[in-house]
Amino acid sequence: MKLGDWIAVIGFIISITIIWQFRQILLLVFTAMVLAIALNSLVRWIQQFGIRRGIEIGRGKAVLLSLLFVLLFGILFVGLVVPPFVEQFQQLLELVPVGLQRFLAWLDGVLENPPTWLKLEEIDLPDFSDFTRQVGPLAGDLLGNFFTFFSNSLAVLLQLLLVVVLTVMFLVSPTSYRNMTIRLFPSFYRRRADEIFTACETSLLNWMGGIVINSLFVASLSAIGLVALQVKFVFAHALLAGAFNFIPNIGPTMSVVFPVSVALLDTPLKALAVLILYLVIQNLESYWFSPMVMQKQVSLLPAATLTAQIFFATFLGLLGLILALPLAVVTKTWIEEAFIKDVLDRWSGRPQRQISRQVAALERANPSDAIDDPWN
């Protein structure tokens, strides 16, 4: 390798190291970009609505109207939805350990007086009495630690403030930031990079629209099923089911813990019915509703989705897990457009065209000695 090549490799390694050190900040920037893309679609809709009504609405006014709409929606959500949810959720956190203790007590009773068909003498089981006494405080501690991220910590507030500020900045002048990013590419690839950015924006909008509809579907069916089963705190359970649906594979598993624990306060059979209900809802959403709604969405294979979640959660933490799907959508789009279409497809196509032209020339020169094209 020449000196210039070594300098390029060293510069690339230094760049990757710097990006890795600032990965959390970059994730917040990516979050702001996703939110800005969503709000930008609202800005465009407001401008198009004004054009259809014969009113020209400038971008500044459209941005202001979109922000006021989001603010109004946030105030209504906080005023109407958050108070009952917080009240029910606090009671829910108190009842979850109680439900787990009751389940373990029932299981301990079954093990002490097993039915005739259950033969336990051949199975070496642990002492569930000690486990029952310890699981209550342990479950409470685990739930408390799990929701520490959502507490009133200064770091979380500062991160949210940074995301809001960056979102507004991106929204006010998206073209300027986009052109600045495109200029980081070589001159011969800037037009193509702009096309790929447009494809990423379309994919993200399709994903966001589809996931919102899917979450409403899951929340509605959860509420109807839990009302039919007479499980307490239906509103909190349904809202959690819809919110956790934004995290596929892992989210539905997390959302079922709370209603099952509350149902255990009544009978284990009711808890089993809740578990079956959630399994049915998730299968309906995964195999029927989601494919029907997301026909234009970027299709990600289930194994690819799960792999992306594990990868981003391992290297980027909780925020990486939450952003796993939009990150996977953007990564998939860049791989398909920049690597497969622009590199691999052209790489394989160039020799094929050359050989095809050579074969055609030989056939024209000697029609009786036709040569088979090895690429066909």
List, for residues 14-73, the tens digit of each pLDDT value: 878 887 888 888 899 999 999 999 899 899 999 888 888 888 888 888 899 999 998 898
208 vs 65, 123, 310, 329, CA distance in Å? 21, 50, 21, 11
Report the number of distinct structural domains present in the chain.
1
CB-based contact 336:343 (threshold 8 Å): no
219 within domain boundaries? no
Domain region containing 366 = 302-376
pLDDT band at 374 (very low <50, low <70, confident <90, very high): very low
The amino acid that residue 169 corresponds to is M
Classify residue 101 as exposed, middle or buried by CB count within 10 Å of its CB (0-12, 13-18, 19+).
Answer: middle
CB hemisphere CA count around 91 (13 angstroms): 13
Classify residue 72 as exposed, middle or buried by CB count within 10 Å of its CB (0-12, 13-18, 19+).
Answer: exposed
- Rounded Cα–Cα distance for residues 371 and 323 (Å): 54
The amino acid that residue 24 corresponds to is Q
268 within domain boundaries? no
357 within domain boundaries? yes
358 within domain boundaries? yes
**What is the pTM (predicted TM-score) of this model?**
0.66
316 within domain boundaries? yes
Check whether 329 has a pLDDT greater than 80: yes
338 within domain boundaries? yes
245 within domain boundaries? no
- Rounded Cα–Cα distance for residues 271 and 108 (Å): 17
Collapsed DSSP state (helix, strand, coil) of residue 113: coil
14 within domain boundaries? no
